[in-house]
Amino acid sequence: MTVKTIDHTTTDKNSPRELDAVIVGAGFAGLYMLHRLRQQGLVARVFEAGDEIGGTWYWNRYPGARCDVESLEYSYQFSEELQQEWEWTERYASQPEILKYINHVADRFDLRRDIQLNTRVVQAAFNVGDARWHIATDAGDAVSAKFCIMATGCLSSTNLPNFDGITDFHGPTYHTGNWPHETIDFSGKRVGIIGTGSSAVQAIPIVADQAAHLTVFQRTPNYSVPAQNMPLDPAIQQAVKADYANVRANNSQMPFAWGARYKLPEDAALAATPAQRQNEYEERWQIGGLPFIGAYSDLLFNQAANDTAAEFIRGKIREIVQDPKVAELLSPRHVVGCKRLCADTHYYATFNRTNVRLVDISADPIERITTAGLRAKGEDFAFDCIIFATGFDAMTGSLAKIDIRGKNNLALKEKWQAGPRTYLGLGTAGFPNFFTISGPGSPSVLTNMLVSIEQHVNWIGACIEHMRRHQFVTIEPTVQAEDAWVEHVNSVADMSLFPTCNSWYLGANLPGKPRVFMPYVGYPPYVEKCNEVVAKGYDGFVLATATATKTEPCPA
């Protein structure tokens, strides 16, 4: 465990608790933000709740945890030396390898001296008087900063459903999003797992392999395509590295900022014959993973087109799973891609094992957790341990845990009561000098997160530099720009099939969370809009100097 120390040598010697920027979170976003601000000559400090850096890749260390974006793409591009020197070993990197990469980055760029571990930010309040954020932590720190930058991640606040008797169980319980650091050996154990999202789809085959018996409680079946993970071919790695600039540039033109190396979706599924579609889907199935959804351009926009892909996957499930009743229960009926598509290794085949049982709880919710296990569908299940693979309070959960107050003591939680309101997912009206990296209203979780994170960090860095050059003291979105953006985010989502099922994109996985589609659909038009805003002198933002407020366009 790392001992928490504040290295005041990097801060103003006369007033060591006064910083240029506070960054909350030391995952991919926080680390690059720190690096970028330091390069600009700012004094910044990262507060991180964990006892190590890594964010989502620090906490999500369940068996089988692995990225569903290929390692050669799920990596920083800000440093040519970094992307050339790092060697990935697998097509899809495992959680330990990604965490190793993150630690390498922190050491390579000497980031640790401005990161304070074991420290959770509990309050951030903007003071109009000194135009600064006043930040308090659970470790007793009280600092002030000109900028408050939330790098808190989109999937970092775990969702543990409030089951009756949740604390009654006598054995150990685990959450996939907050997994213990020691190895958990399930050998000889009777295990129950609740949930069948991406995390469970990765964990289930491995746990089933170890455990004496595994019972899977499924509320909604999920579409999963084999990841076809394999050791990374050195020739492929070399070829990508030789052409990295183009690979990255091509990906930035893709709707979700990844996958340009695969065949682009030029045609509509409905324009193809059934035989052509079958061939295309089969080819994508063999390629593996998320590129499946790129088979045709209309899959996420036309129900009939989507049905063809859905039926293809259901056909695969029927082929793989020997018991037709189990195959039917595992077959989703919603739109493919509406909940995030899963990428697996032997997921469906795991249900052919004699030590695995699938329990459909779609019509009968879990009644309660008991001392011996849990009760569902009138049956008592006895377990040695229970795994909650029940997901996250996505995109807004970790922000809601902090008491964030803007002008007039307005609480962010209150402002976002009916759903998050931002301009570009970067800032929110009434909260000057407050930035959210991959915030709601930006493409974030629909994209390769690394690409979106770097785009946001670069935008924020350039904005701060612009303010310094022109002596602006604060920046915040106008209410009008924010309202128009929120409406635009929703209308773009409504053109797609994304809002048609109960996904965490919509907040529909949590009882009581407002049902609002949070990410922005479409990376290239989003980036174009961000650039246009800058070109028009931060159009839609209010920039204020110490004496005057500037709402008209200013020099870019």
Chain contacts with ligand NAP (rule: CB under 6 A)? 66-68, 155, 161, 176-177, 194-200, 202, 219-220, 340, 343, 361, 366, 389-392, 445, 502, 504, 509
CB of 504 to ligand NAP, least distance (A): 5
Distances (CA, A) of 505 to 166, 500, 508, 510: 26, 11, 8, 11
Query: Closest CB to ligand NAP belongs to which residue?
Result: 197
Spatial CA neighbour of 319 closest among 281, 356, 357: 281
**Alpha-carbon dihedral of residues 89, 90, 92, 98, nearest 10 degrees?**
-20
- Read off φ and ψ for residue 126, nearest 5 degrees: -90, 130
Alpha helix (H) residue ranges in 66-129:
80-85, 95-108
Residue 202 or 428: the one with the smaller Cβ distance to ligand NAP is 202
Distance CA 154, CA 504 (A): 11
Shortest spacing between CB 47 and ligand NAP, in angstroms: 24
Nearest-angstrom CA–CA distance, 439 and 68: 21
Q: Tokens for 316, please give them.
A: 């695969």
Place of tokens 């640790």: 112
The residue among 69 and 467 lying less far from ligand NAP, judged by its C-beta, is 69
* Shortest separation between residue 194's beta carbon and ligand NAP, angstroms: 5
Neighbours of 313 (CB within 10 A): 20
Of 25, 50, 46, 47, nearest to 37 (Cα)? 46
Shortest Å distance, C-beta 86 to ligand NAP: 19
Q: Please say which residue, 60 or 428, places its beta carbon nearer to ligand NAP.
A: 60
DSSP letter, residue 112: G
Q: What are phi and psi of 328, to 5 degrees?
A: -65, -45
Min dist. Cβ of residue 389 to ligand NAP (A): 6
Question: How many residues does the structure list for the chain?
Answer: 556
Is the CB of 364 or the CB of 532 nearer to ligand NAP?
Answer: 364
Q: Which lies closer to ligand NAP via its Cβ, residue 65 or residue 467?
A: 65
* Beta strands 474-477 and 142-150, pairing class: unpaired
Provide the minimum distance between the beta carbon of 335 and ligand NAP in the complex, in angstroms, as a whole number.
13
351 or 538, CB closer to ligand NAP? 351
Which tokens belong to 317? 């499930």
Cβ at position 316, least distance to ligand NAP in Å: 19
Cβ neighbours around 123 below 10 Å, total: 15
Which residue's CB is nearer to ligand NAP, number 367 or number 403? 367
179, 344, 542 from 58: Cα distances, Å: 9, 21, 37
- Report in angstroms how near the CB of residue 491 gets to ligand NAP at its nearest: 24
Minimum distance from CB of 425 to ligand NAP (Å)?
Answer: 17
CB of residue 85 to ligand NAP, shortest distance in Å: 24
Q: What is the DSSP letter of 504?
A: G
* Phi, psi (deg, nearest 5) at residue 477: -70, 155
Identify which of residues 86 and 504 has a Cβ nearer to ligand NAP in the complex.
504
Residues in contact with 399: Cβ distance below 8 Å, sequence separation at least 6, in sequence order:
150, 152, 412, 436
Indicate the residue among 11 and 56 with the shorter CB distance to ligand NAP: 56
CB closer to ligand NAP, 505 vs 541? 505
